[in-house]
Amino acid sequence: MSKEKPSIPKGTRDFGPAVVARRNYIFGVIRRTFEKYGYLPLETPAMEQLSVLTGKYGDEGDQLIFKILNSGDFLAKTKSEDIEQGHKHLTRKISEKALRYDLTVPFARFVVMNRNEITFPFKRYQIQPVWRADRPQKGRYREFYQCDADVVGTNSLLCEAEIVQMIDGALTDLGLTDFTIKINHRGVLAGIAEAIGEKGREGDICVAIDKLDKIGRDGVRKELLERGITEAAVGKLEPLYDLNGTNEEKLAQLQTILGATAEGERGLNDLHQVWQYLQGLQSRALMAENPSGEPRLMLDVTLARGLSYYTGCIFEVKVNNVSMGSISGGGRYDNLTGMFGLPGVSGVGFSFGVDRIYDVLEELQLFPESSQQSTTALIVQFDKASEMYALPVLQQLRDAGISAELYPEPAKLKKQMGYADQKNIPYVILIGSEEMASGKLKLRDMKQGEQQDLTVADIISKLMQ
Amino acid sequence: MSKEKPSIPKGTRDFGPAVVARRNYIFGVIRRTFEKYGYLPLETPAMEQLSVLTGKYGDEGDQLIFKILNSGDFLAKTKSEDIEQGHKHLTRKISEKALRYDLTVPFARFVVMNRNEITFPFKRYQIQPVWRADRPQKGRYREFYQCDADVVGTNSLLCEAEIVQMIDGALTDLGLTDFTIKINHRGVLAGIAEAIGEKGREGDICVAIDKLDKIGRDGVRKELLERGITEAAVGKLEPLYDLNGTNEEKLAQLQTILGATAEGERGLNDLHQVWQYLQGLQSRALMAENPSGEPRLMLDVTLARGLSYYTGCIFEVKVNNVSMGSISGGGRYDNLTGMFGLPGVSGVGFSFGVDRIYDVLEELQLFPESSQQSTTALIVQFDKASEMYALPVLQQLRDAGISAELYPEPAKLKKQMGYADQKNIPYVILIGSEEMASGKLKLRDMKQGEQQDLTVADIISKLMQ
């Protein structure tokens, strides 16, 4: 057995009790939101067939998939030629499974495998970890959770409106008050490409303007030119970055610019209908203004989102006045299951970035006290007599549903109080000879520093409040 | 992109919504039980350094660890000699990480890494999947969840008594009424070895009698003799299989047989003290009788549990009258963190087998209705007018915390009702022209098949009950 100092793989994390409790608080809010809108949980295995994952994330993505070595003698079927042909070739010979890279491909795989049992429209959410062999850096991990919700098997734009509602609902429940839900449509982007004389080039345009926040207008211009977009087209494109006014005004301006293009019209019609649904739902996101005076839901024609499979509305969410990238995003795709031979299943989905939400809530001090607390009461142990006296008390507390502990040894009082402190236990019960005689136990409120002498029944009713 | 029929790795499972809901019900009961006793959640990464896992589970276990191929050019540092030396040698060159095989070793690793920050006694629970490259068979998977609770840093036998309480509490909360919590002590087993003239041979004796349930008395005799235990010793051992009477009577008989051995005395003293704690806690497990008339908590000197690291009390739980192996087990270990260079940290822990508990609850039909239900209400969509009318109703339901859906398309009524049926939605709301005119909507109870005309406010108060 090794006696080296143990460590964990880089880019991975242990989550101690306090962090798990806060993460579970976030997961709980997100889960309840998904369920309130009729989304039900799905869980898929951590390991997928390598063939299911390969080719879905581009060449770069394929390199970042963690592959699992075949068990047993994985070399049994290899020859020396296989090894000479390098690691990419050998991988296919010695590895058949891999860790999931996202939740979208396993979801598509599940839908295709179970297409005959599933009732469509199928609304599922999935909250599970994914693994990527990315270079670890601040805020980027090799193991992290994704929280996805998708509905497949319907074209209804009600789903898009409900995604806006879920984002607004979950973030509001988490206590956030200043965030922007950006919305755009791939049809609008295609219409823009056509309107500026670069029909069919919306892919290149998307990749470039997706970086507007990071590399600025000049950077985007440079990239667009490199990608072969003409100077004239870039010149026509740039004024759109500054499109302003209310959402309705923006839509009207876009109608003038793109209305004549088929894709642009499709995009604008969809957006109009999403707006109509949101009005019917009396959407707070539609009506609310952020402290800056801007609408919470904002049409942003520079929103592109890199993923190539989006075909309709796209979303992205930013918390304002916090230095943090988007905490949620998604969009409609028309052919996700096509990769597994089942074409024509339209869907729309989005996800929350839990690690980023965690950091935002911590920065803004929005974690509620209830998410920080553990055991409700600790009974201090002085000696054998107090221990024996404490046992039925302990049981009564737990029977009442109160989480409680008896310190398991007659350690020094300071040590026991330190334990309560470290564990953030709000109440300590002290049972000395006087308390045993009177039947009134000392209940110490650790936060207020106050003590009261109370019967067990009174302690229970106080702690159950 | 591959168009083959996708599949999942053998021994792994997808969990659809209905199964996830039931599994979450079980996890919820177990989690609340752990927390009521002051255990707090820990989560460790799926991937551990291979060096952390290797050598902890025996040679056979090492073979069953899933290894992860190093990312990038994993062959860069290998030479042809490395490949000629076979797969075991090569594994060390091309794989540094592996999937966790259980939750115990990662816990020990966590305690050692964080020994300076942890307040002892440290009570943690952990509910996470583990992976084993075992041959898949009925009830045995390559990915499955473990639910462990351990406390380290105290010798107090109160912890053992509380484990009995937690097992009894969780299983009772799950609706089980006929189960046996078997308890024994490694000291008793060592005392028996000494008393039958085979001092120090308790390891061999444990491995053999651990199989009593599976291979019977003759099988165990054969194995004991093969392992070099004398005929005379086996002859003295066998009557102990039939030790009967109440737990107190068994303890008294054992006192006579083992009392003179140091280990036997240690074991019996510990068991006496556990009993004393349970009496103080007014333990139902101690007082309850199963339908057969046997005590729920049962001293069983043939309980051995294979794991070599146990040193004190050991536990195992069996549901009676169901063909299923043990659903929970555990024990005290004196040196778990010793494997990582931190000796002298005593601990005790146990775990629940969720897959087995799931099968038992299903067989006994003990899943409550609340664990089977999804969305509370579906609003049927007839046409654009009913859709628009439904939107604010939908929002009011959700604002009241009721999970609700509007079918996203004006599909045939039969299809929409089928959707509600498949999804196990208990209430359907129908809004036709009459309902829109009167403001009283039709609420259909899908189970009873009854319909009522109610205002939105009345529907909400009915569904919130």
Q: Write out pLDDT tens, residues A148-195.
A: 999 999 999 999 999 999 999 999 999 999 999 999 999 999 999 999
Annotated binding site of A for L-histidine: 102-104, 132, 146, 150, 305, 309-310
Residues A226-250 have a mean pLDDT of 90
Whole-number pLDDT of residue A10: 95
Average pLDDT of chain B is 93
The Cα–Cα gap between A119 and B425 comes to: 13
The answer to whether the peptide bond before residue B121 is cis (omega within 30 degrees of 0) is yes
B309, B210 Cβ separation under 8 angstroms: no
Q: Do B14 and A45 touch (CB under 8 A)?
A: yes
Residues 6 or more apart whose CB falls under 8 angstroms from that of A400 comprise A460, A463, A464
Show the tokens assigned to A318: 């930013």
Confidence tier at B367 by pLDDT (50, 70, 90): very high
The whole-angstrom separation of Cα B410 and Cα A337 is 24
d(CA B41, CA A454) in angstroms, rounded, equals 31
On whether the CB atoms of residues B192 and B204 are closer than 8 A, the answer is no
pLDDT one-digit tens code per residue, B177-230: 999 999 999 999 999 999 999 998 988 888 888 888 889 999 999 999 999 999
Do A68 and B64 count as a contact with CB atoms less than 8 A apart? Answer: no
Tokens of A454: 């109370």
- Cis omega (within 30 of 0) on the bond before A121? yes
The pLDDT tens digits for B117-146 are 999 999 999 999 999 999 988 888 999 999
User: Nearest Cβ partner of A406 from B14, B41, B158?
Assistant: B158
Contact A42, B20 (CB under 8 A): yes
The minimum CA-CA distance between A294 and chain B, rounded to whole Å, is: 24
d(CA B36, CA B30): 10
In the predicted model, is pLDDT for residue B74 greater than 90? no
Interatomic CA distance for residues A31 and A112, integer angstroms: 25
Q: What separation in angstroms does the CA of B344 have from each of A247, B112, B190, B347, B443? A: 67, 12, 21, 10, 65
Query: Which alpha helices (H) appear in A320-448, and where do they start and end?
Result: 354-363, 384-399, 413-422, 433-438
pLDDT over threshold 70, residue A4: no
The residues with which B150 forms a beta bridge, in sequence order, are B124, B349
List Cα–Cα distances, A58 to A66, A87, A151, B421, in angstroms.
15, 18, 24, 40
Checking if the pLDDT of A65 tops 80, the result is yes
- Give the pLDDT band (50/70/90) at residue A33: very high
Q: Answer yes or no: is pLDDT of B89 > 90.
A: no
Q: B150 a known binding residue?
A: yes
Q: How does residue A374 score in pLDDT terms, banded at 50, 70 and 90? A: confident
Which residue out of A59, A75, A165, A380 would a mutagenesis test of the B interface target, given it has the greatest number of B Cβ atoms within 10 Å? A75
Question: How far is it, in rounded angstroms, from Cα B48 to Cα A440?
Answer: 50
**B3·A340 Cβ contact <8 A:** yes
Report the percent of chain B where pLDDT is more than 90.
79
Q: Confirm if B301 and B271 have CB atoms less than 8 A apart.
A: no
Specify which residues A266 forms β-bridges with: none
Closest chain B residue by Cα to residue A133:
B71
- How many inter-chain contacts (A to B, CB under 8 Å) are there? 308
Please report the pLDDT score of residue A428 as a whole number: 98
Q: Alpha helices of A259-353 — where are they, by DSSP H?
A: 262-280, 284-287
Task: List the binding residues of A.
Answer: 102-104, 132, 146, 150, 305, 309-310
Report CA-CA distances (Å) from B450 to A87, B419, B427.
65, 18, 10
Whether B398 and A36 lie within 8 Å, measured CB to CB:
yes
Write out the H or E segment, with its range, that includes residue A32.
helix A17-36
Nearest chain A residue to B396 by CA distance is A281
Find, among B390, B394, B392, B434, the residue nearest to B410 by Cα: B390
**Predicted confidence band of residue A1 (pLDDT cuts 50, 70, 90):** very low
Distance CA A353, CA A315 (A): 13
Q: Residue B72 — pLDDT band, cuts 50, 70, 90? A: confident
Confidence of residue B307 (pLDDT cuts 50, 70, 90): low
> How far away is chain B from the Cα of A198, in angstroms, using its nearest Cα?
28
Tally of residues, chain B? 465
- Is B217 annotated in a binding site? The answer is no
DSSP B204-269: HHHHHHTTHHHHHHHHHHHHHHHTT--HHHHHHHGGGGG--S-HHHHHHHHHHHHTTSHHHHHHHH
- Out of A455-464, B60-69, B74-83, B230-239, pick the least confident: B74-83
- Say if residue B69 carries a ligand binding annotation: no
Region of B352 please: left (phi>0), alpha (psi -120 to 50) or beta.
Answer: beta
* CA angle B73–B77–B78, rounded 5-degree value: 100
Q: What is the DSSP string of A235-251?
A: HHHHHHHT--S-HHHHH
**Long-range CB pairs of B207-214, under 8 A, 24+ apart, other chains included:** B207/B304, B207/B306, B209/B237, B209/B241, B209/B302, B209/B304, B210/B304, B210/B305, B210/B306, B212/B241, B212/B302
Instruction: Decide if the complex's ipTM is over 0.85.
Output: yes
Q: List CB contacts (< 8 A) between B385 and chain A.
A: none
Domains along chain B with CATH numbers: 375-463 (3.40.50.800)
Residues ≥6 apart with Cβ < 8 Å to A152? A111, A120, A121, A122, A336, A337, A345, A346, A347
Q: Report the candidate in A47, A384, A450 with the shortest Cα–Cα distance to residue B98.
A: A47
Q: How high is the pLDDT of residue B138?
A: 83
Is residue B194 a contact partner of residue B264, using CB atoms and an 8 Å limit? yes
Is B54 assigned a ligand-binding role in the annotation? no
Integer Rg of chain B from CA: 28
Tokens representing A317?
A: 């969410």
Cβ distance A211 to A220 under 8 Å? yes
Range of weakest confidence among A147-161, A367-381, A422-436, B22-36: A367-381
Please list the residues that pair with B95 across neighbouring strands: B69
A8:B40 CB<8 A: no
**Letter for the amino acid at A153?**
G
- With b for 16 or more beta-carbon neighbours within 10 A and e for fewer, the B403-437 pattern comes to bbbbbbbebeeeebbebbeebbbbbbbbbeeebee
DSSP symbol at A77:
T
Residue B424 tokens, joined: 């196990």
Specify the pLDDT at position A241.
87
Chain B residues with CB-CB distance to A5 below 8 A: 112-113, 340-341
- Quick one: what percent of chain A has pLDDT higher than 70? 99
What integer pLDDT is reported at residue B167 of this predicted model? 98
pLDDT of residue B2: 46
Name the pLDDT band for B389 (thresholds 50, 70, 90): very high
Q: Which residues pair with B329 in a beta bridge?
A: B316, B351
- What share of chain B has pLDDT > 70, as a percent? 99
* Residue B211: predicted pLDDT: 87
Q: Among A154-168, A189-203, A406-420, which is the least confidently predicted range?
A: A189-203
Position B1 scores a pLDDT of 43
Asked if B290 contacts B178 with a C-beta cutoff of 8 angstroms, the reply is yes
Q: How far apart are the first and last CA of chain B?
A: 50
Q: Higher pLDDT residue, A399 or B374?
A: A399
Model pLDDT, residue A2: 46
Does the structure show a pLDDT above 50 at B68? Answer: yes
Question: Between B356 and A5, where is the model more confident?
Answer: B356
State the pLDDT at residue A395.
96
Distance CA A67, CA A140 (A): 20
Q: CA-to-CA distance for B456 and B442, rounded, in angstroms?
A: 10
Q: How far apart are CA B345 and CA B154, in angstroms?
A: 8
* For range B318-330, the mean pLDDT: 93
CA distances from residue B415 to A58, A338, A404, B386, B447 in whole angstroms, order as listed: 39, 25, 51, 17, 18
For residue B305, say whether it is annotated as part of any ligand binding site.
yes
CA distances from A55 to A52, A65, A68 (A): 8, 11, 17
User: How far, CA to CA in Å, does A360 sit from each of A17, A315, A318, A356?
Assistant: 19, 19, 11, 6
The dihedral sign for the CA sequence B329, B334, B336, B337: positive
